[in-house]
Structure 1
Amino acid sequence: MGRVLMKGTEAIAEAAIQAGCKFFFGYPITPQNEIPEYMSAHLPEIGGTFVQAESEVAASYMIMGGGATGHKVMTTSSSPGISLMSEGITYMAGAEIPVVIVNVMRGGPGLGGILPSQADYLQATKGGGNGDYNLIVMAPSTLQEAVDITQESFELALRYRNPVLILADGFMGQMMEAVEIKPYVDKDVPDISEWALGYMGERGGKRSSLKSLYLSPEALENHNKDLQKKYALIKERESRCESYMTEDAELVIAAYGTTARISRSVINNLREQGHKVGLIRPITLWPYPYADFAKLPKTVKNILVAEMNCGQMVDDVKVATGCKIPVSFYGRSGGMSPSVKEIEQQCRNLLGLE
């Protein structure tokens, strides 16, 4: 497939199919409904299975069952739906079951509204469910990146036996861009027959036990220690970030997803006027790219966090900089988006231009 013009939700769906996803379980909720709609039409064409579950809760346990067999499975939802899935998600993290979950975020809290938002950052990165666990959390900024991240997420899920959550927002779900979607071949995935259900023959009759229930506190603590070792490995290997015009920057905007795209326009405008402004864009929200912030030049005097929420990433930026650089925030919430003009004005204020 060459470059084609596609809506974000449909591009994500086709990318998943080309990555080998054959099982989709989900429940409709705006603004991601085109993903299950696309899957319902195209998965049967390749011998795959689409099931519209009776609820988001049911969908989370359907992907848990599918992921336990080692197959590539996926669900998608939007903010309140992900909240309903939180119990299943922590079970999957605890049982080390690989799945891919897409959250096309909308405004909140509660039922909120259907317009774009980034207000699920803390839910995604700090744990929406109970217990000590982490998801791998990816935040694309363009539709091509959403395609690439979607495809790689299945590989990451299988490599680490861990749920992967892709955070997009309603803008990314509904915008259209030219993308190229190729069949994806996994590069580094352990043999699933070593752990997945349905491979007793390959294991010489040995059963596989995938669970998150440990009645012995000593056993549960040892399990938690093993999970933490895995998370440490993920932090070491999978942290990703983009820096844009930060080499000589005096002010750096920290943003991800759609807000990073808006911020890039701000930076280009200010650079044309001779002002030294750059962008640092986390691609993995967990593991957070702390090391990339540590590499920012000594010329940086301020960091402006820009988000479509009330400041959920600010604390991570403060930790990443060791609180050695002043951190400011500008955001809009409830489905409102910060404009280029608004962010540019904040930058001008911090630069002492007005």
Structure 2
Amino acid sequence: MHLSEFDYNLPPERIAQTPLEPRDASRLLVLHRDTGEIEHRTFRDLAEYLAPGDVLLLNQTRVIPARLPAHKVPTGGAAEILLLRPLDDRRWLAIVGGKHLQTGTQLAVGQDDGEHLIATVVEQRDENQRVIEFDAPVEPYLDALGEMPLPPYITTPLADPNRYQTVFARQDGSAAAPTAGLHFTPEMLVDLKRRGIEFAYCTLHIGLDTFAPVREDDITQHKIHRERAVLLPEDAQIINQAKLRGNRVVAIGTTSVRTLETAAIRSAAYGTPYNDPDSVQATLASLADTTCPWRPVIAIDEATDLYIIPGYRFRAVDVMLTNFHLPRSTLLMLVSAFAGRDQILHAYEEAIQRDYRFYSLGDACLLI
């Protein structure tokens, strides 16, 4: 398939710049995959589409203040560090902005006469990615020295940084929020539980690699980067029990989708040798039509490189809740794989005509 097949025109005014209050006041476009029918609801109507015993899979990752203003030592030239993921206690993979940032360049984070860190560029990666090494573990300094890493299409300052966190965020590590989860309130979660809806949790720490532009015209040639995904045994058990009794698993966001489907692929391949144990894509290529109905998923803790495009066969996800995604993005390809490219693009066009709010701080879409 060609990249141009995943394009659409979005008026700039449709990009949400601020979150709605309360969280569950967002609109909800409901797309019925079997018929193509579209409904227009609000997010607090979500419970009407769920049944007792259904399981919501929530990504409990927490966004860290990963954007670090910096300056070069000793020249004072402006720079910026965006932390992507830790490599050990002092080394991080990061996107580094600034001029002439070669291996050996030192960057000061914070004020020289106050609390500060020194970061050294120790390796150059693709484009503006660098491996940097701090002179001390950076985590204790993030709240004081770091800023919330909002996507570049959000130009309005966020009045409350907690609005870029889900209410169930627990595990520090993301450079971006799992935005489909931003719509939930504590009261809504309590209400869903009272209705018999169950919850399972996963952790996928989101790096900006998730949003890396696809440059190849043939989308199959795009290489997706790896992100750490965790599904604990107790959560895998909740999912498997729901599947066995005929309930649905509702993935909240594309990060939950990739975690759940990675766990399903590993389950289907359990006990089967394959060429590259570190690559989900290699595992997937080694499977024909293997299914594991008695154990749909297994617990995982690994870096997933699962790249979902049309033609992918979903093994565990029954329903997907997600926001509206950028044109030509891997996330738009993922939802197209789940609901059909033509149906997704038609739904997006109707959402634009009806003034839905798009992207990270925008409205939600339920694919059932």
What TM-score, normalized by structure 2, do the two folds share?
0.27
> Larger % of helix: which?
1
> Larger strand proportion, structure 1 or 2?
2
* Structure showing greater relative contact order (alpha-carbon pairs closer than 8 Å, 6 or more residues apart): 2
Question: Taking structure 1 as the reference length, what is the TM-score of the superposition?
Answer: 0.28
